[in-house]
Amino acid sequence: MPFGKWATVTEAAEHYGVTRQRIHQLIGKQMLGQCKLVSMPRGDVWLIPFPFDRKVGHVGRPPIVNKERETNGIDSIGRGG
């Protein structure tokens, strides 16, 4: 259960239905807001702002920016033409 305006990595992982490792990746990409690392008696703990507000990042393959591929007979799916 989140305490105050902060939640732990485990609570965020349960909320989003992902692993703790994925939450750490999102913290590294700064996609979960202003998280802070707090020193506790048992070790350092990441605190994530609650209620959760996840930023949406890019999903999927990046678009083709090089127009030369299209002019060489390769369509957008990657097949030769």
For the chain, domain boundaries: 6-49
Q: Is the pLDDT of residue 79 over 80?
A: no
β-bridge mates for residue 45, sequence order: 38
DSSP per residue, 7-42? E-HHHHHHHHTS-HHHHHHHHHTT-SSS-EEEEETT
Task: Report pLDDT for 71.
Answer: 59
**pLDDT, mean of residues 71-75:** 60
* Residue 52 three-state SS: coil
Residues 27-67 have pLDDT tens digits of 998 888 889 999 999 999 999 988 777 666 666 787 788 76
Cβ atoms of 49 and 34 closer than 8 Å: yes
Task: Report pLDDT for 38.
Answer: 92
| Cα distance between residue 19 and residue 27, in whole Å | 13
Task: Report pLDDT for 3.
Answer: 59
Task: Report pLDDT for 22.
Answer: 92
